[in-house]
Chains A and B, each alone.
Chain A
Amino acid sequence: MELLRPESAEAASAALGNGSVALAGGTELVPLLRDGIVRAEKLVELRDVVPRGFDGTRIGAGTTLAELEVDPQIPQALREACSLAASPQLRSMSTLGGNLLQATRCWYWRLNFPCYLHGGDVCHAKAGQHREHAIFGSDRCASAHPSDPAAALLALGARLHTTARELPLSELYRLPTDDNRDVTALEPGELILELDVPQPEASVYLKAMERRKWSFALVGVAAARFADGVRLALAGVAPVPWALSSPDALEQATPLPGTAYKVDIARALIRRAVEAVGAPRSA
């Protein structure tokens, strides 16, 4: 395997594809390589080309979760979501951009079952074990997106700057379809460079886990209060981070038999999150 160290984002973009895979913090990629889920002939090191650090509401995609979780400039929901992701060792390596592209923990996918997400015809989780799986968007694939920061950024209304365009975070994600099994809309070679994260009046991230620390969200709820209202987004409930237009939108959930309890958890957590951020000042 070869390691490339391009000197510009453009050069990095050009180097990707054809067996070349982007490497940032490596906390996501290395296990996927080891498990044979991602195959790579070349790794393209992004550390020198993707911005790191933050200035006002602009955050470099190469900023580590550990850097974000402690800074008072960063909205509370994002700080909390970063601090609740993985363990300190991983957070000191993992980047925000990489975290947004985190793969599901669905074990059928991880064990390389020929599942829908891998290009197959069926979602094995639906007929099999799916206690950790989706309550939304699970028509074709019932996996759950694991990223805590993605839910926080979605509620905060973050916008992305990539090597190709500017787009709202909500448009980064897509549900897999028959002709495209990706859960992101990034074009080949497109890199996330920076994020604009609006400052809310108040925000919070609440995360229900099976262990009191260091585990993936059963349900994570981010709430951000802006002058025009409270925005909500959920982690661990759909193949992609899931925005809710209102608390009542939860009742549109389509859980599997084994994930119905997640609707109950989400309902209580949403109520608590909304209460925590309070009513908009203008209201």
Chain B
Amino acid sequence: MNAPARTLELGRVGESVKRVDAIPKVTGEFAYSSDLFAAGMLWGHTVRSPHAHALIEEVDISEAVGMAGVHAVLTHTDVPGAKAYGLEFADQPVLAIERVRYFGEPVAIVAAEHPEQARRAAERIRVAYEPLEPVVDPERATEQEPIHDGRPTAGHGFRDDPRPNVVRSIVIRHGDPDAQGEVTVSGVYELGIQDQAFLGPESGLAVPDGEGGVDVYVATQWLHVDRDQVAPCLGLDPEQVRIHLSGVGGAFGGREDLSMQIHASMLALHTNRPVKMVYNREESFVGHIHRHPAKIWMEHRAKRDGKLVNVRARILLDGGAYASSSAAVTANASAFACGPYAVENALVECACVYTNNPPCGAMRGFGAVQSCFAHEAQMDKLGAELGMDPVELRLRNALAPGDSLPTGQKITGSFPAAEVIRRAAALPIPEPEELPRDALRLPGGSGNTTRGEGVRRGVGFAVGFKNVCYSEGFDDSTAARVRLAASDDGIAAVVHCAAAEVGQGVVNVILQTARTELDLDEVVLGSATTSSVGSAGSASASRMTWMAAGAVQLACRAAKDELERRGGDLEHGETIDVERVYHHRPTTPLDRETGQVTGDGAHVAYICAAMRVVAEVDVELGLTRVVWIGTAQDVGKAVNPQAVYGQIEGGIAQGLGLALMEEIQTQDGLITNASFTDYLIPTTLDMPPVEAQLVEEPEPDAPYGVKGVGEPPTVVSTAAVASALRDATGRQLTRVPVRPDEIVGLP
């Protein structure tokens, strides 16, 4: 069941190397977690709440337990250990107890010989609910009955906010929040709920080890923190739960939280059989957290020359039923609310609330996407008000090393905001194409809706940034282990690192780093697992390249030192085996009242990108075509340039999806479009060609000067596409996704 050890064609840091998983993925040979199989395995199924908010009066499993092929039917009373878990706050029941708080919340689990038997048994579990009025309007949530007893997120060093249903609220006061400018623009901006929409639904296999422990093979983002949540709920020691990474079909933050890990483990330990669980597409939509929908008010005060004087923002995030990583998303949305601009005065108020809407948590861009959409709309508006070129306005305010963020943190290290703006703005945009054209090169695409009638062209620009690595004192490290042994050709190396390959290319990063450091071609990467190496931290926050390269570099250098100490060679059968843990420089919390930094600062480093978008809009039909995107991105150092370009294009596609079509629709907390038929994601026809420029300004503290690349394209592209649509239509377009009904009917 272990994935085979992985090798790749030779390559050192800085060289474009074909992804080791590329060919297997495009030829259909890659083994995803949904392909797992074990002899004698059972299939698990989850019984989920059909209500967004209800009391559970009774769960009657009597009919289900006796059905053919059924081996186990479990409810919250069968959870062996802690009854609740969570990434930051253990507020989420393993299986619902007395109350369900969101549509699709797990209530019971079944294991049977065949998945269809499990499904039918699940249908026979009678759950008596007493529906409660769901809390679905985040603006009213702070005045309604609390949906959690007590305050799960209180007492964690956060600002005290006594209102009901507050997950976290932050106030950042910087300079003089009352400072006046000569020009003021304001607006209210909204973003719908975006789903990660990874193609590989949640799936995995739990195998009992016969000694009370369990091995879990699963598609996840952070193996060790999965283990640290699973083990207590099973009442086991951490060593008794071993998490092994299986083939991941995309993650984008949506696999940071647990899905089927505890459930499959409970069923496996209960039946003493391997248990496999695979969510279907509809279940995947309700079975993981989403991007926070947001409502944002912003006011920008500036001088006539365009220099920002004061930015005031109020941000409301809907966290849904459980906390997940909402507290950190709140911090990010606040810290980056003003964009990559130097602002001496700011007042940012941000709150995330509990509701009975779908739970929200980590998704690529993590709070910065929402803020970027708002601050860039504001910058466009300010430019229009001042009659100033949008690029010039942004350059005039670009944040640079030595400047401070609104949190008071001084920018150190690499921060080439002005450079990415200049480079993106310098990219030549394509000339308008002649008519007639193929329908596929017009708004409306294959629908053949125009031959040019109603089509207007627009050019948009946006800049955005966010942090790399975790923040506010949450300093997760990365471990790597290197084993050297004699081989026929000299020395061979095996590297172990629990970094999750989620499609971003970290396997290549690890191998390229090891080859560079050891100056060896013969390097093999072992499976990512909790049983052979320490925590790698999460494959998120654009941190994995930096942290994995740092850890592998340390371990390789230690192994090399040891090899030299032993005279530079190994006898047959002699090995060197070292593990090292890499830490980035420490961070410290924000002051809970003022939102100002304490100690070293809340963030490690930053990554920024600028983007220029050409779009065409058929203003009579409200249909769009994104024609071209040019971007310049601050990457520190590209370890594998080809993979970096891939991340930029993929990240843009995801942000374009939010700009144009992606939105989870809800009605009273129920998800109404949980399918790829009704939740639209971009196709290749929706994606324009992308011209990307890499700005390589090394980060002084990081191995080889690397930063991260996964998130900035997503942060910026939503804002940049919306900007181009605004330019084409003359409309404000204050909400994404921008739908045809917000464009049609233009005079």
Binding site for B on A (CB under 8 A): 80, 83-84, 105, 107-108, 111, 124, 128-129, 131, 204-218, 258, 261, 264-265, 268-269, 272
Q: Which B residues are in CB contact (< 8 Å) with A269?
A: 449, 621
CB <8 Å contact, A268 and B454: yes
Q: Nearest Cβ in chain B — how far from A94, in angstroms?
A: 13
Q: Which B residues are in CB contact (< 8 Å) with A80?
A: 448
CB <8 Å contact, B670 and A111: yes
CB <8 Å contact, B450 and A272: yes
CB <8 Å contact, B446 and A213: yes
Within 8 Å of chain A (Cβ to Cβ): is B70? no
CB <8 Å contact, B447 and A208: yes
State the CA gap A272–B739 with chains docked (Å): 21
CB <8 Å contact, A265 and B740: yes
State the CA gap A235–B216 with chains docked (Å): 49
With contacts A129-B665, A207-B448, A208-B740 known, is A215 near B680, CB below 8 A? yes
State the CA gap A258–B665 with chains docked (Å): 15
Within 8 Å of chain A (Cβ to Cβ): is B741? yes
CB <8 Å contact, A264 and B446: no
State the CA gap A107–B663 with chains docked (Å): 14
17 contacts between A and B (CB under 8 A): A80-B448, A83-B446, A107-B678, A108-B672, A111-B670, A128-B667, A208-B444, A211-B680, A212-B440, A212-B446, A212-B625, A213-B446, A213-B683, A265-B740, A268-B621, A269-B621, A272-B449
CB <8 Å contact, A207 and B685: no
Q: Which A residues are in CB contact (< 8 Å) with B672?
A: 107-108, 111, 129
Q: Nearest Cβ in chain B — how far from A33, in angstroms?
A: 13
CB <8 Å contact, B677 and A264: no
The secondary structure that dominates the B interface is loop
Q: Nearest Cβ in chain B — how far from A36, in angstroms?
A: 9
With contacts A131-B741, A265-B740 known, is A206 near B448, CB below 8 A? yes
The 10 residue pairs across chains A and B that have the minimum distance between CB atoms: A212-B445, A261-B741, A268-B620, A207-B447, A107-B672, A212-B685, A264-B744, A213-B446, A211-B680, A261-B744
CB <8 Å contact, A84 and B621: no
Map CB proximity to A onto B614-634 as digits: 1 under 8 Å, 0 otherwise.
000000111101000000000
Q: Which A residues are in CB contact (< 8 Å) with B680?
A: 210-211, 215
Within 8 Å of chain A (Cβ to Cβ): is B641? no
Looking at A108, A205, A217, A268, the one whose CB has the most chain B CB atoms below 10 A away is A268
Q: Which A residues are in CB contact (< 8 Å) with B450?
A: 272
Q: Nearest Cβ in chain A — how far from B452, in angstroms?
A: 10
CB <8 Å contact, A206 and B739: no
Within 8 Å of chain A (Cβ to Cβ): is B453? yes
Within 8 Å of chain A (Cβ to Cβ): is B485? no
Q: Which B residues are in CB contact (< 8 Å) with A105?
A: 677-678
Within 8 Å of chain A (Cβ to Cβ): is B144? no
Within 8 Å of chain A (Cβ to Cβ): is B4? no
Within 8 Å of chain A (Cβ to Cβ): is B146? no
State the CA gap A105–B678 with chains docked (Å): 8
State the CA gap A80–B621 with chains docked (Å): 19
Q: Which A residues are in CB contact (< 8 Å) with B621?
A: 208, 265, 268-269
Q: Which B residues are in CB contact (< 8 Å) with A128?
A: 667
State the CA gap A83–B446 with chains docked (Å): 9
Looking at B448, B451, B682, B683, the one whose CB has the most chain A CB atoms below 10 A away is B448
| Complex interface residues of chain B between 444 and 500 (CB less than 8 A to chain A) | 444-451, 453-454
State the CA gap A169–B453 with chains docked (Å): 32
State the CA gap A268–B450 with chains docked (Å): 10
State the CA gap A214–B397 with chains docked (Å): 42
Q: In the complex, given contacts A218-B740, A268-B454, what are 17 additional A-B residue pairs having Cβ atoms less than 8 angstroms apart?
A: A83-B446, A111-B672, A128-B667, A204-B448, A206-B449, A207-B446, A208-B740, A209-B447, A209-B623, A210-B739, A212-B440, A214-B683, A215-B680, A261-B740, A264-B745, A265-B744, A268-B620
Choice from A208, A211, A217, A258 contacting B682 with Cβ under 8 Å: A211
Within 8 Å of chain A (Cβ to Cβ): is B673? yes
State the CA gap A214–B677 with chains docked (Å): 9
Map CB proximity to A onto B665-687 as digits: 1 under 8 Å, 0 otherwise.
10100101100011010110110
Within 8 Å of chain A (Cβ to Cβ): is B578? no
Q: Nearest Cβ in chain A — how far from B81, in angstroms?
A: 35
State the CA gap A107–B678 with chains docked (Å): 9
Choice from A107, A207, A208, A217 contacting B673 with Cβ under 8 Å: A107
CB <8 Å contact, A208 and B449: yes
Within 8 Å of chain A (Cβ to Cβ): is B690? no
Nearest A-chain residue to B746, judged by Cβ: A264
Q: Which B residues are in CB contact (< 8 Å) with A217?
A: 447
Q: Nearest Cβ in chain A — how far from B619, in angstroms?
A: 9
Within 8 Å of chain A (Cβ to Cβ): is B661? yes
Q: Which A residues are in CB contact (< 8 Å) with B453?
A: 268, 272
| Complex interface residues of chain B between 704 and 747 (CB less than 8 A to chain A) | 739-741, 744-745
Q: Nearest Cβ in chain A — how far from B583, in angstroms?
A: 45
Q: Which B residues are in CB contact (< 8 Å) with A210?
A: 660-661, 680, 739-740
CB <8 Å contact, B670 and A212: no
State the CA gap A124–B672 with chains docked (Å): 12
State the CA gap A124–B668 with chains docked (Å): 12
CB <8 Å contact, B446 and A84: yes
Q: Which A residues are in CB contact (< 8 Å) with B451?
A: 272
Q: Which A residues are in CB contact (< 8 Å) with B448?
A: 80, 84, 204-207
Q: Which A residues are in CB contact (< 8 Å) with B444?
A: 208-209, 212
Looking at A124, A131, A207, A209, the one whose CB has the most chain B CB atoms below 10 A away is A209
State the CA gap A272–B452 with chains docked (Å): 10
State the CA gap A124–B620 with chains docked (Å): 29
State the CA gap A206–B680 with chains docked (Å): 20
Nearest B-chain residue to A205, judged by Cβ: B448
Q: Which B residues are in CB contact (< 8 Å) with A213?
A: 445-446, 683, 685
Q: Nearest Cβ in chain B — how far from A50, in angstroms?
A: 25
Q: Which B residues are in CB contact (< 8 Å) with A124?
A: 667
Looking at A212, A261, A272, the one whose CB has the most chain B CB atoms below 10 A away is A212
Q: Which A residues are in CB contact (< 8 Å) with B678?
A: 105, 107
State the CA gap A214–B447 with chains docked (Å): 9
Q: Which B residues are in CB contact (< 8 Å) with A261?
A: 622, 740-741, 744-745
State the CA gap A124–B440 with chains docked (Å): 36
CB <8 Å contact, B683 and A129: no
Q: Which A residues are in CB contact (< 8 Å) with B744?
A: 261, 264-265
Q: Nearest Cβ in chain A — how far from B676, in angstroms?
A: 9
| Complex interface residues of chain B between 629 and 670 (CB less than 8 A to chain A) | 660-661, 665, 667, 670
Nearest B-chain residue to A132, judged by Cβ: B678
Q: Which B residues are in CB contact (< 8 Å) with A212?
A: 440, 444-447, 625, 683, 685-686
State the CA gap A269–B453 with chains docked (Å): 10
Choice from A108, A205, A211, A216 contacting B683 with Cβ under 8 Å: A211
State the CA gap A111–B675 with chains docked (Å): 12
Q: Nearest Cβ in chain A — how far from B467, in angstroms?
A: 33
Q: Which A residues are in CB contact (< 8 Å) with B673?
A: 107
CB <8 Å contact, A264 and B620: yes
State the CA gap A246–B740 with chains docked (Å): 25
Q: Which B residues are in CB contact (< 8 Å) with A268?
A: 453-454, 620-621
CB <8 Å contact, A206 and B683: no
Q: Which A residues are in CB contact (< 8 Å) with B683?
A: 211-214
State the CA gap A269–B677 with chains docked (Å): 24
Q: Nearest Cβ in chain A — how far from B49, in angstroms?
A: 14
State the CA gap A84–B448 with chains docked (Å): 10
Q: Which B residues are in CB contact (< 8 Å) with A208?
A: 444, 447, 449, 621-623, 740
CB <8 Å contact, A131 and B739: yes
Q: Which B residues are in CB contact (< 8 Å) with A258?
A: 741
State the CA gap A208–B453 with chains docked (Å): 14
State the CA gap A107–B667 with chains docked (Å): 10
State the CA gap A118–B682 with chains docked (Å): 33
Nearest A-chain residue to B676, judged by Cβ: A214
Q: Nearest Cβ in chain B — how far from A111, in angstroms?
A: 6
Q: Nearest Cβ in chain A — how far from B632, in angstroms?
A: 27
Q: Nearest Cβ in chain A — how far from B266, in angstroms?
A: 27
Nearest A-chain residue to B626, judged by Cβ: A212
State the CA gap A208–B443 with chains docked (Å): 10
CB <8 Å contact, A209 and B445: yes
